[in-house]
Amino acid sequence: MENSPSDSPPLKAANEGVSYSVDSTSTDSLPERAIFDPILLPADSYDVNGTYWADMPLSKRIPFVLNYDLFVEGKQEWAEIWEGAKRNPLSPLIRYFKSAVLPGAGLGLEGYVLFSIGNIKPLFQAVWKECWSTHQVCNARWVSSIEYLEVAGIMVGQILVGIQGDWIGRKWGLVQDALIMFWGLVLLTASWGTSLNGWVICYAWCLFIYGIGVGGEYPMTATSSMENGTGTGVISSKDDRLHRGRSVTSAFLMQGWGQFWNVVILMLVLFIANGTGNPPYSEKAVQIAFRVSFAIPALGTAVLVWHRMFNIKNPNKELEVQKKKSNVTGYDLESLKLTFTHFGGRMLATSGAWFANDVFFYGNKLFQSEFIKVITPNNHSVMEGWKWNLVNVSVSLVGYYLASMLIDNKLYGRKWMQIVGFMFDFILFIIPAFAFDYFTSREGIHAFQAMYFLSSFFNQFGPNSVTFLVAAEVYPASVRASAHGLGAAIGKLGAVAAAILYSYIDTQTKFYVVPWFGLGGALMTWLWLPDTTGLDLAEQERRWRYIREGRGEEYCGVAVHSKHLSVWERWMGISKQYNPAKDYKMKIEEMRTEWEQGKSKEISHDDGSETIWSQHVDDYFTRTSARHNTAPAEQKSEISPVNEKQATY
């Protein structure tokens, strides 16, 4: 039931601490600021004086951010969880399942399968040594091609499905990815050959097919998770501002759980099939472990196909809204061209940092093989390597979760998280390079272990989580999936480069080479990556509309605040456009335009008072429309309560 103005509570300003002394029963008595402050100056981003959080001095910014995040939003979230738990003890788990597990199920299954390839290989080498190790009966190139074809399939999927996601829609990409992964898993489970070499060839091409689905999962999961809470028009969403990073990284971290459960299942199946975890391993036991390990995610992927086909509700909404505003059908080539023109530095940051991160990721695998050799000399049990891999994945999961908790914090956020993660990995990799003999001896093993686990932790609590998020969120919706897919594909080139490079240099040289990619990643992040922490996607889309209309220099909102621009963009002078007082007026005029087009009823607000605010806005625009239409052009954006000299709005 709609509330009438006479039922409305007293209106309040930028947050609930300051109210206007007006008669709320008569909308004619409401000043513009009382109507628009709660809409345009939300309490999570502006203080009681209307000052944007990034404009506050550090002495005020810290308590403002901590107070809202912990005692307002944090308290509200815990209250909701507690209320749900009182009604149903399983409510918190169900809530987590819906918000993180289901959106990230594709990446969880992908992590399970892709890391299964590396985990199973030592088992193949132990049983079919003449094929997988000495290459007496198998072609060495085909054995090596397993990793290359897998990566090639992923890159194809990342680019093609990214384009499809922007062209046809997010849901099409999500369903298609799940179907391709299901098909690939069925093929992997049933892969065979008339000889060992024939089986290797079949296995490699099945991985290529599966990899296409995996590659598409990257841009589709990132964009669909990100766009769930986006506001409309000039109206932003609290969920988007405060929890966008958490939504995306909570889905992404399911990749870590996929790795974890792959190791657990392989250990259990091999132990049951072989009767022991120690060698020798029978061919039958390895065949069972190999095929069961792929059959289990195939069943899970079949469920995922069904869920995405019938249960996902309109993931294309944000894309459709932005295309409609730009009068675009099909693929938005114009936006793609403008993205390279205006956001070229961001492209360098997202793709270059991802490239550097994937080189590091291979470096982490190098650490693993080296320290396992040191702590378990003369060991030939595959189980031993799996156990240490399980410990490493568990440490990584801690990094994943901590990244998800802090990635939206305005005092730390994405950019610092990525720089700090890169720098720690740089340090942790370069130390063993200059004391390699000590750290690979029995005396230095504990320090070596610590560095190895810390490198895993900071890789997740840093570039691995952040690159997945920012490769989509710093671009407009119309080309978001394409940009993410391109960045991810270039990142995979880093994995290929590392694999090729490592085959030509010895172990210690690898330690000399790898760290500099961490330093390079940190520098690229500092120079070219904007910090979008606390900046909602609706505001970024608003700036993009100005750019697309050829008047990008007229935009003066928070998306060009120096806090939300890269160092490079600030050097280009873009931050000089920022003018909050002028932008406040421009936003109201844009709302008026939407109202005139019949969209006023679409306005939604963080406190749930949709009808109340829509009614006040509607009454205001109705009351002032005649005056607005007859006013001189230069005065139409004048709003008397806002003083240009008050540079806080």
Task: Give the pair of three-digit tokens for residue 130.
Answer: 């003449």
pLDDT of 67 reads 96
In whole angstroms, what is the distance from residue 412 CA to residue 455 CA? 20
* Residue 423: its H or E element: helix 413-433
Q: What average pLDDT score do residues 201-228 get?
A: 94
Q: What average pLDDT score do residues 353-372 get?
A: 78
In whole angstroms, what is the distance from residue 99 CA to residue 539 CA? 24
Per-residue pLDDT at 361 exceeds 90: no
Per-residue pLDDT at 630 exceeds 60: no
pLDDT of 322 reads 86
pLDDT of 594 reads 83
Beta bridge partners of 52: 46
User: Are the C-beta atoms of 191 and 207 separated by less than 8 Å?
Assistant: no
pLDDT of 229 reads 67
Query: Alpha carbon of 400 to those of 26, 373, 394, 495, 622: distances in Å?
Result: 52, 27, 10, 20, 50
Q: How confident is the model at residue 613 (pLDDT cuts 50, 70, 90)?
A: low
Angle, in degrees to the nearest 10, between helices 344-375 and 382-406: 140
**How confident is the model over 7-59, as pLDDT tens digits?**
333 334 344 333 333 333 334 456 788 889 988 999 999 999 999 999 999 99
Please state which of the ranges 374-383, 563-572, 615-624 shows the lowest mean pLDDT: 374-383
In whole angstroms, what is the distance from residue 239 CA to residue 250 CA? 14
How many DSSP H helices and E strands does the chain contain? Answer: 27, 0
Q: Tell whether domain 104-317 is in CATH 1.20.1250.20.
A: yes
Per-residue pLDDT at 634 exceeds 60: no
Tell me which residue of 267, 316, 253 sits closest to 110, measured CA to CA. Answer: 253
b (16+ CB within 10 A) / e for 169-199: bbbbbbbbbbbbbbbbbbbbbebeeeebbeb
Please state which of the ranges 118-127, 400-409, 483-492 shows the lowest mean pLDDT: 118-127
pLDDT of 601 reads 54
Beta bridge partners of 12: 19
pLDDT of 578 reads 97
Collapsing DSSP to helix, strand or coil, 46 comes out as strand
pTM of this prediction? 0.90
Per-residue pLDDT at 220 exceeds 50: yes
User: Are the C-beta atoms of 90 and 243 separated by less than 8 Å?
Assistant: no
pLDDT of 363 reads 67
Query: Alpha carbon of 144 to those of 116, 148, 221, 510: distances in Å?
Result: 16, 7, 30, 20
Please state which of the ranges 258-262, 278-282, 293-297 shows the lowest mean pLDDT: 278-282
Rounded to 5°, angle at Cα 561 from 558 and 562: 165
**How confident is the model over 81-139, as pLDDT tens digits?**
999 999 999 999 999 999 999 999 999 999 999 888 888 988 999 999 999 999 999 99
pLDDT of 7 reads 38
Tell me which residue of 569, 548, 544, 568 sits closest to 557, measured CA to CA. Answer: 544
pLDDT of 3 reads 40
Q: How confident is the model at residue 496 (pLDDT cuts 50, 70, 90)?
A: confident
Please state which of the ranges 305-319, 403-417, 439-453, 538-552 shows the lowest mean pLDDT: 439-453
Q: How confident is the model at residue 224 (pLDDT cuts 50, 70, 90)?
A: very high
User: Are the C-beta atoms of 129 and 187 separated by less than 8 Å?
Assistant: no
Q: What average pLDDT score do residues 443-466 get?
A: 91
The residues of the chain that CATH labels 1.20.1250.20 are 104-317
Cβ–Cβ contacts within 10 Å for residue 288, how many? 16
Per-residue pLDDT at 396 exceeds 60: yes
* Residue 238: its H or E element: helix 238-252
b (16+ CB within 10 A) / e for 598-637: eebeebbbbeebebbbbbbbebbbeeeeeebeeeeeeeee
Per-residue pLDDT at 422 exceeds 60: yes
**Of residues 484 and 603, more confidently modeled:** 484
**Of residues 315 and 13, more confidently modeled:** 315
Q: How confident is the model at residue 595 (pLDDT cuts 50, 70, 90)?
A: confident
Q: What average pLDDT score do residues 521-530 get?
A: 98
Q: What phi, psi does 85 have (nearest 5°)?
A: -65, -30
**How confident is the model over 175-199, as pLDDT tens digits?**
999 999 999 999 999 999 999 999 9
pLDDT of 10 reads 39
Please state which of the ranges 128-137, 179-188, 312-321, 393-402 shows the lowest mean pLDDT: 312-321
Per the prediction, the chain carries an average pLDDT of 86
597 HSE (CA, 13 A, CB side): 10
**Of residues 377 and 56, more confidently modeled:** 56
Tell me which residue of 317, 82, 307 sits closest to 179, measured CA to CA. Answer: 307
Rounded to 5°, angle at Cα 47 from 239 and 226: 15
pLDDT of 360 reads 81
User: Are the C-beta atoms of 125 and 143 separated by less than 8 Å?
Assistant: no
| Residues 6+ away with beta carbon under 8 Å from 538 | 230, 231, 232, 233, 234, 235, 236, 237, 240
3-state SS record for 49-75: CCCEHHHCCHHHHHHHHHHHHHHHHHH
pLDDT of 635 reads 44
**What percent of the chain is predicted at pLDDT more than 90?**
64
Per-residue pLDDT at 647 exceeds 60: no
**Of residues 334 and 610, more confidently modeled:** 334
pLDDT of 458 reads 96
Task: Give the pair of three-digit tokens for residue 53.
Answer: 């959080």
